[in-house]
Amino acid sequence: MANFCDLTGKGPLSGNRVSKSNRKTKRKFYPNLQTKKFFIPELDEWVTLKVSTQAMRTINKKGIFNYLRELEAKGDIVIG
């Protein structure tokens, strides 16, 4: 599977590596992805997701179930 966050959709960005002589070569900036297991008490099950650290902070703030429902309401993910 590619380097994309399961929840936010964050992926690699492209840019330039710039040397001291100002020579530019292409490079990629990869998101900070972590594979993590989350327990959803409302569904009484464990879910393994590859998420960015920004998504993990949002999950800690709002809770996994509320965050998933919010993403589903926006149409970003489908729970089922």
What ranges do the domains of the chain cover?
13-74
CATH architecture under which domain 13-74 falls? Roll (2.30)
Q: Specify the pLDDT at position 79.
A: 75
For the chain, what percentages of helix, strand and coil (3-state, to nearest 5) are there? 25, 35, 40
Neighbours of 5 (CB within 10 A): 20
pLDDT in tens, 18-47: 999 999 999 999 999 999 999 999 999 999
**pLDDT tens digits, one per residue of 43-72:** 999 999 999 999 999 999 999 999 999 999
